[in-house]
Amino acid sequence: MRAHSQHVVRSASRVVVKVGSSSISGENSGQIALLVDALAEAHGRGTEVVLVSSGAIAIGMPYLQLQERPTDLATQQAAASVGQNLLIFRYQDRLDRYDIVAGQVLLTASDLDNATHRGNAQRAMERLMALRILPIVNENDTVATHEIRFGDNDRLAALVATLIGADLLVLLSDVDALYTCPPDMPGAERISHVAFGDPLLGMKFGATTVNGVGTGGASTKVTAARIAAQAGTAVLVTATGLVADALRGDPVGTWFEPSTAPSALRIS
């Protein structure tokens, strides 16, 4: 991360952080604590923080005696209904030590397609932040359908960052940065900086993956980063375990430069 990028992070007044299911469920459930600690540290500096968190389906699965992520919509919705409640409880339980209150915001793709709903969501999050509440956003899996889904929460996070005019979007994953090809492949090189508009020719990020608990992958993060960067939001992609370093402006992850002539919000 370059000096200018570090300055952008440290001076950001409004930040959106996105975390995926695999980073906070199962054997990684302990990472909720380090994530909340990092968010609370930023909150304590006066930064307005919004968390976009996956995990409802993954956390709900054991309570439905499911060993793998369900493939049918009704069971996904049932797992999400159970898991969302537990997800927010786990965040609030950790936030209590910092006297920070979480506010739940559940959205569907159609909400952001609809000008009235979009405006309501924006105003709600603006008011929550003004009240020093930490909004926790997730897709409303209980009512979303296959036809009207964001597809992954990386895209949702980019749209939320654009909606509220965030200075910075931090996309967290299980890998410390983006690489020129999957990091376990020979010759993989870490990408530290991506100029705005760089097509990243020759990079092999792979297709969107569906693992045992969630959907996502490097390709979805690149797509989301481009959405946010086009709207003028800087983007940092790094590992969940490095979130505190990332929010302090330490040189971690992959940095996407934002457009200097940002466009208006486009949902499609």
Q: Say how many Å lie between the first and final Cα of the chain, rounded.
A: 31
pLDDT of residue 109: 87
pTM of the model: 0.91
Per-residue pLDDT for 147 more than 70?
no
Q: Which residues contact 48 (CB under 8 A, 6 or more apart)?
A: 13, 14, 15, 129
Overall average pLDDT of the 141-155 stretch: 75
Among 30-44, 134-148, 173-187, 249-263, name the most confident range: 30-44
What pLDDT was estimated at residue 267?
Answer: 47
Sign of CA dihedral 20, 23, 27, 30: negative
Residue 25 reports pLDDT greater than 50: yes
Residues, the chain, total?
268
Most confident of the following: 13-17, 54-58, 195-199? 13-17
What's the chain's average pLDDT? Answer: 89
192 phi and psi angles, rounded to 5 deg: -95, -25
Q: At 214, which amino acid appears? A: G
Span 82-127, pLDDT tens digits: 999 999 999 999 999 999 999 999 998 889 989 999 999 999 999 9
Give the model's confidence band at 202: pLDDT under 50 very low, under 70 low, under 90 confident, else very high: low
If one looks up domain 3-256 in CATH, what number appears? Answer: 3.40.1160.10
Is the pLDDT score of 204 beyond 70? no
Residues 6+ apart with CB under 8 A from 70: 57, 61, 76, 79
**Residue 102: beta bridge partners?**
134
